[in-house]
Every structure is written in C-alpha cells, then in structure tokens.
Amino acid sequence: MLLTPMEYLILRFCGRAVTDATMAGGTMLYDLTERRRSGALCRRFGIAEEKLPEILPTTTAAGYLNEETKERTGLTGEVTVAVGAQDQKIAAYGLGLENGTATVSLGTARALEIPCSGRSGELPSFVFDAGDGERYLLEGCINTFGAAIKWLRDQVCAGMSYREMDRMAEGVSAGSGGVRFYPHLSGQSTPHFGKKLPSGWQGITLRTTRAELIHSVYEGLACEIRLNLEAAERAGARVTRLKLFGGGSKSDILCRILCDICGTEITAYDFAEICSFGAAKSVCVCHCRLTGVCREENPPFSVPASEERLYVPIENDSDALYRRYTEGLTV
C-alpha cells in the first residue's frame, strides 16, 4: 500500500486502508471534477490504484480500534475510528464550515480555508465531504506568517517578547509611517504563483522607528490575507467573517489590523487545540450516526464563548494602504 502517515495510522488502528478527499487531493492524484481518484493520472505516473486507500467521507467509520492498539493505549470497549481529514480542513470543520466565513490558521505559515461553490484558478481547490454533502474548499497560504514575525523578533527586536513588540506597534498609526513590508521571505505563496515578488521593507527613512517596522510587518501580513480573499471572491466566494486561531491570534494588535485591512468581522480563538477539536468533532458525528445516541446535526461540540474575542472593522484609510501595498508588488 501507498499511504500517508494518517492513512497508515488508521490501517494500524483498525486494519483498513482508507482516506478522505482532502488527503487524496494533496497527493495530486484526485479528480476535482469527478470527485474521485484520477485513473488517468495514476496510469500516467505508473501508480497502481489498488495500492491506494479507499476514499470515504471524513465522518465515516473506518472501523473499530483493534485489540493490539487498545492494549497499547489502555483504551477499552468498542472504540470508533473515524476517517478524518487534512489538518487545516479538520480545523475548519471544527469551527464550522459556513458560507461567507473563512478560517485562518496563524502559525509558522498561514493557511486560509474558504468554502466556495466552485474551484479557483488562483488558489488550490479541495473537495471536503463530512458526510453531509460535498463542497469545495479554497486554500490560501502565506509560507512565512509566524516565521516572518519570529524573524523580526530575532533579528530586529532581540531580547523582546512578542507582547512587548505588540505594545510598541500599538502606538503606530495605520500606514506605518510610509513603510511597507512584503513577507515573501521563502518564495512564492498564494495567489502569486509564477510571479517574481519583492520581500522585506520598502519606504524606510532615517526617521523610521522600530515600532513602525513591527507595525508594517503586521500590515503586510494582513494585506496578503486580503489578496487571498479577493482571489477567492473571483472564484465565487464572498467572505464577510474570519475565524482566527493559532499563535498569531493571541496578538490583539495583529487581529485589529487584520480586521480593518480585510474589512471583515473577526472572531479570534484563544483555544489552542483547534485541529484536535475538529478531529474529536468528526469522531463524535461518526459515532452519532452509528448509534443514534445524539442528533448528528447538533453534536455536543462548541468552543466556549470565554475563548473567543470579537473584532469589528472601523472606518480608516486601510483601502489606500492596501492599494499602496499592491502597487509595490510589481518588481
């Protein structure tokens, strides 16, 4: 068998080789139009389809935990094993896949998951099936989101904590004193494939302060998210709300900048384990369908309100700031 780590674990857990459409899509052997494995691509690259796992909805029961695994883990009884999904997709599922709402993981990289009725020619497109109907998810990515902030801390703000950097940035007005930052520190990201991009700062003068440098990094990262949202809009998605999680969502000033530049309402989650939360939700829904113990359309999973912070955009010159940023993308 040819298996990803997730698929291998499922095989070891219950003896069945299965996967979902998001993991299959990541192999580049999935037909997005036909919503199944591409026999043509498998033949083109000499891959035997029978060596690949069966594709099932995310909340399907792959089987039950075998005795060997129960002995190793200390679990007892009949333990359901759900199929699951790729990490960012299962996190989006945990927070709720709603039209008009995108989930944004603010980690070392940034992953943006956007429900859409169609595919995009600018953003990677995936099929997500939680057992309640297939839908498209568009994915935007900034390769160096948290990595750019860490680089800033290590190289420009040595000895400072992220909280101290935030406090400095809070005293800076929108536009960062004319300084712009382009976060393409490790090459292309969406929606820029095939383009030569600037990286680093533009507009630095002798009057530029370290606080403005910090603020400009946050603004540059926010502008990149807006670029991805606009690419999704061209594919038919209209996003009016963002759900943020991951390390970057802890920064109040970063969340406020994102809210104003993107012009969308934002919910930021302090709850750390969103991916695990989504995986647990998928197992819960799977178990509900198998047993009828709870209503499958309303599984007992929701992030506590105490873990949420709400941001609403305010009137400012963010559109002009964004235009200056995009004009500087031409190199």
From the DSSP assignment, how many helices (H) and strands (E) are in the chain? 11, 15
Q: What's the pLDDT at 164?
A: 98
The stretch 43-57 carries a mean pLDDT of 96
Give a yes or no: residue 221 inside a domain: yes
Question: Tokens 């994102």 sit at which residue?
Answer: 258
Are 127 and 245 part of one and the same domain?
yes
Min mean pLDDT across 71-85, 245-259, 279-293 is at 279-293
- Would you state the pLDDT for residue 50? 94
Strands 308-311 and 80-82 turn out to be unpaired
First to last CA, the chain: 46
For the chain, what is the domain count?
Answer: 2
Residue 82 has pLDDT above 70, yes or no: yes
Distance CA 79, CA 287 (A): 9
Residue 53 located in a structural domain: yes
Is the predicted pLDDT of residue 71 greater than 50, yes or no? yes
Answer yes or no: is 291 within a domain.
Answer: no
Distance between CA atoms of 105 and 196, rounded to whole angstroms?
25
Q: What is the pLDDT of residues 9-48, one digit of tens each?
A: 999 999 999 999 999 999 999 999 999 999 999 999 999 9
* Residue 156 and residue 12 in one domain: no
- C-alpha dihedral sign at 178, 179, 181, 182: positive
Statement to judge: residues 245 and 151 lie in one domain = yes
List the domain range (segments joined by +) for residue 8. Answer: 1-84
191 & 115 share domain: yes
* 277: its two tokens: 């939360």
Question: Which has the closest alpha carbon to 92: 75, 110, 109, 104?
Answer: 104
Helix (H, G, I), strand (E, B) or coil at 61: strand
Question: Can you say how many angstroms the Cα of residue 41 is from the centroid of all Cα atoms in its chain?
Answer: 27
Residue 171, token pair as written in the block: 């005293």
Q: Write down the pLDDT at residue 288.
A: 84
Are 21 and 91 within one domain?
no
> What integer is the mean pLDDT of 240-262?
96
What does the alpha-carbon distance between residue 105 and residue 278 come to, in Å, rounded to a whole number?
A: 13
pLDDT at residue 316, as a whole number: 78
**189 falls within a domain:** yes
pLDDT classification of 296: cutoffs 50, 70, 90: very low
Q: What's the rounded Cα separation, in Å, for the pair 104 and 41? A: 31
Look at residue 296 and tell me if it is in a domain.
no
Determine, yes or no, domain membership for 279.
Answer: no
**156 and 185, same domain (yes or no):** yes
In whole angstroms, give the CA distance from residue 307 to residue 303: 7
Shared domain check, 308 and 221: yes
**What are 140-197's pLDDT values in tens digits?**
999 999 999 999 999 999 999 999 999 999 999 999 999 999 999 998 899 998 899 9
pLDDT tens per residue across span 88-143: 999 999 998 899 999 999 999 989 999 999 999 999 999 999 988 899 999 999 99
Query: 125 and 62, same structural domain?
Result: no
Taking a C-beta distance cutoff of 8 angstroms, is the pair 168, 210 a contact?
Answer: yes
Whether the bond into 191 is cis, omega within 30 of 0: yes
For 225, other C-beta atoms within 10 Å of its C-beta total 23
Q: What pLDDT, in 10s, does the model give residues 198-250?
A: 999 999 999 999 999 999 999 999 999 999 999 999 999 999 999 999 999 99
Strand pairing of 200-202 and 80-82? unpaired
Query: Do 13 and 94 lie in a common domain?
Result: no
Residue 284 belongs to a domain: no
Domain end, chosen from 16, 49, 84, is at 84
Specify whether the CB–CB gap between 180 and 165 falls below 8 A. no
| pLDDT the model gives residue 132 | 87
Is pLDDT at 302 greater than 80 in this prediction?
no
pLDDT of residue 295: 54
Q: Are residues 41 and 166 in the same domain?
A: no
Domain boundary among 41, 65, 84: 84
Q: How many angstroms separate the CA atoms of 26 and 193, rounded?
A: 17
Q: Do both 80 and 91 map to the same domain? A: no
Asked if the structure places residue 190 within a domain, the reply is: yes
In eight-state DSSP terms, residue 297 is T
pLDDT at position 272, please? 79
Task: Check whether residue 243 and residue 138 sit in a common domain.
Answer: yes
Q: How far apart are CA 3 and CA 71, in angstroms?
A: 24
Q: What is the DSSP annotation of 135-167?
A: EEEEEEEETTSHHHHHHHHHHTSTT--HHHHHH
Higher-confidence residue: 292 or 168? 168
Neighbours of 330 (CB within 10 A): 9
Mean per-residue pLDDT, 51-68: 95
Domain boundary among 84, 111, 126: 84
CATH number of the domain at 127, please: 3.30.420.40
